[in-house]
A and B are shown apart, each in its own frame.
Chain A
Amino acid sequence: MDFIKNFVNVLSVASISFVLLSAIFGFILYFNLFDGKLKSKSGYAFLGFGIVLILAGLFARPLLYLGIAYLLIMFVLANLGGRLWDKKVGLWLLIFGAAGFGLSMLDPNFNLIAAKPDNVPIAAMIFLLGFFTWLALRKAYLNDKQIEAGGIPWEKTESDEKLFTWPDLVYTELLCMILLTIVMIVWSIGLRAPLEEAANPTSSPNPAKAPWYFLGLQEMLVYFDPWLAGVVLPTLIIVGLMAIPYIDTNPRGNGYYSFRERKWEIGIFLYGFLVLWSFLIITGTFLRGPNWNFYGPYEYWDPNKLEPLVNINLSELVWVKLMAMPLPKLWFIREAPGLILVLLYVALPPLLAAGPFRRFYLKMGAPRYYVGAMLFLIMMSLPIKMVLRWLFNLKYIVNIQEIFFNI
């Protein structure tokens, strides 16, 4: 039991769990939605990465655990293939998830955090997200199969048939309302709303957490300064969401579930919504304790836990470590390497438009292509910064402390 708990604790460290989650995301896209086979180029690439992880694990225990979990999940998903979307398999997944959660509740440390009144809805949200993702992809997979066989998506077979609002729709709505009312009443009687002591501006709790739906942003503060994590990125999330219908000109997949007709849109959206946003919220809620240190799900939130801060800036890495000279006095020389990197990153869309992404550029037109590519790059800057932090302890790529301009 202790071994399993330790295994899960190690796997849930953000650097490990994020890589694992991203990998599972890739597996599901390839093996379960595209019917990819293990015995193929991509299959071997997946396998090779797993073996690299195991080999690296010989030197670092967490990577060994990651490699084992990675290969295990890969084999299971590759074997399941399209059967992942069978109702029976879905039910088993749900049972496994619920059983794992139920057993975990027996652990006092897990129980303490998961049973906090304000965290209960987020625990429920994990299951809801899992269920609805499975449901949506199941429908998409079935429709894809039907379209491939020359048929039409299931929704189209029904869209010409119209029903009277009364009784069909009105009764469904009534049932939903009654059910929801019951759920709300039972929930409200069973679980008291939290109330701590009266507000005291002089004594701050540790950890001080934002409301749970903003914990993704608070978790981003680990990797970015507040002006990016708290202001610019949230604004761009909203702008990006609003821009979706104007960037996506693919006329297919309008009004029915499908994956293969819209693989890029769905892939990017699911990555942002599940692997980035939801992952960060769940990490920030359940796995961040005092001093915003990381704690595994079965770990005691020890306020005295010390995590060494050895993060360094790119400027120090380049000037001091690489070239063995003191940091230049003038900020634009000191930060030149970082500024050049950022400029190169921003210059990617035009470079790609001339090269491998020519197809998209021509299909979408310049404005759509550039807005879409910039939003995508800004979204991907988060996982890139996360990985750089874990690999090189990199704190800032650009660090102009003089005007608070840090990236």
Chain B
Amino acid sequence: MANLKSVQDGIVNSQIWKSIFRVGIPNTNRKRVLAVLGSLILHLHPVKVRRSGVRMSYTWCMGGTSFFLFLVETVTGLLLMFYYRPTIEYAFTDIMDLREQAPFGIMREMHRWGAHAMVIAVWLHMFRVFMTGSYKPPREFNWNVGVILLVLTLLLSFTGYLLPWDQLAIWAITVGSNMARASPGAGTEGPMSSLLKLGDVPLIHSGDDARFALIAGKSIGAATLLRFYVLHCVVIPLAAGFLMAIHFWRVRKDGGISGPL
């Protein structure tokens, strides 16, 4: 044990260690404060938190779980991007290769199950926040940011659903996107759309309606795949990341992790 202690001391007192961790082992209250304040990652937290806010039975840890799963999706998604080309020729075969050829390949599995788990985690997080009344003033705005994040989570999962380009993918997206055809005033089969016309020329037709805008064509094809890929990998994650920053910031500014006010 004495040896282990001296090894530990050696590491902790080395110039390398000290250059990375500014505070050292946080074994005094002063160091505990500095450890949280001095770290980019940890300073998302306040220095001190309510006792009730630390209890798992109160928070269910679902907000943290959602965020963690978002990070899992980011990492596994980046790895998948090395293997995947979003074109009709390659999309399916790339996934096939990934499945059959990549040794110990569980990244696609983890990405898919992580996505399902994230949707459930976000719902449960919303459920907990509602049940504790944590949307009440001053947290109204943050609840709204949360609702948008929930929608973005669903859209992330929806756009990702198409990418394997198998039967499951295109038909799920077909069913999902067919609904856009019925947008009132904006889809070919939507109520009131047929009233919008110039003389005999209809303004809303299958070549310019809401569904066309969603899937970039009259039917699901190469353009849809590319569009969903860019939305899935770039646009929505960036938007979600930005809103998450606001979400976490507002948790702090609105009085910390929810508890009785």
* A200-B167 in contact (CB<8A): yes
* B259-A136 in contact (CB<8A): no
The B contact surface, by secondary structure, is helix
Closest Cβ–Cβ distance, residue A288 to chain B (whole Å)? 12
In the bound complex, CA of A167 to CA of B61 (Å): 16
Residues of A near B135 (CB, < 8 A) are 244-245, 248
Segment from A32-40, A225-233, A386-394 that makes contact with B: A225-233
Contact of B136 among A180, A197, A254 (CB under 8 A): A254
Residues of A near B258 (CB, < 8 A) are 255
Closest Cβ–Cβ distance, residue A331 to chain B (whole Å)? 13
In the bound complex, CA of A403 to CA of B178 (Å): 18
Residues of B near A115 (CB, < 8 A) are none
Closest Cβ–Cβ distance, residue B32 to chain A (whole Å)? 5
* B127-A195 in contact (CB<8A): no
Residues of B near A200 (CB, < 8 A) are 167
* A156-B166 in contact (CB<8A): no
Closest Cβ–Cβ distance, residue B105 to chain A (whole Å)? 10
In the bound complex, CA of A122 to CA of B35 (Å): 40
Does B102 lie at the interface of the complex (its beta carbon under 8 Å from any beta carbon of A)?
Answer: no
* B50-A162 in contact (CB<8A): yes
Taking CB atoms and an 8 Å cut-off, the chain A residues in 195-247 that contact chain B are: 195-201, 203-205, 208-214, 217-218, 225-227, 229-232, 238, 241-242, 244-246
Residues of A near B57 (CB, < 8 A) are 135, 139
The interface size bin for chain B is 35 or more
Closest Cβ–Cβ distance, residue A215 to chain B (whole Å)? 10
Contact with A along B67-82 (1 / 0, CB 8 A): 0110010000000000
Could you tell me how many residues of chain A have their Cβ less than 8 Å away from some Cβ of chain B?
A: 95
Closest Cβ–Cβ distance, residue A170 to chain B (whole Å)? 7
* A128-B32 in contact (CB<8A): no
* B261-A255 in contact (CB<8A): yes
Contact of A251 among B50, B136, B189 (CB under 8 A): B136
Does A307 lie at the interface of the complex (its beta carbon under 8 Å from any beta carbon of B)?
Answer: no
Once A132-B60, A159-B52, A161-B50 are accepted as A-B contacts, the answer to whether A245 and B137 lie under 8 Å apart by CB is: yes
Contact of B260 among A172, A230, A255 (CB under 8 A): A255
Contact of B48 among A122, A163, A199, A262 (CB under 8 A): A163
Residues of A near B116 (CB, < 8 A) are 118, 121-122, 212
Ranked 10 nearest A-B pairs via Cβ: A230-B179, A226-B182, A245-B140, A188-B109, A121-B116, A227-B182, A405-B191, A162-B48, A188-B106, A253-B133
Q: List 9 A-B contacts (CB under 8 A).
A: A170-B45, A193-B108, A211-B157, A214-B176, A217-B179, A254-B261, A400-B191, A404-B189, A405-B191
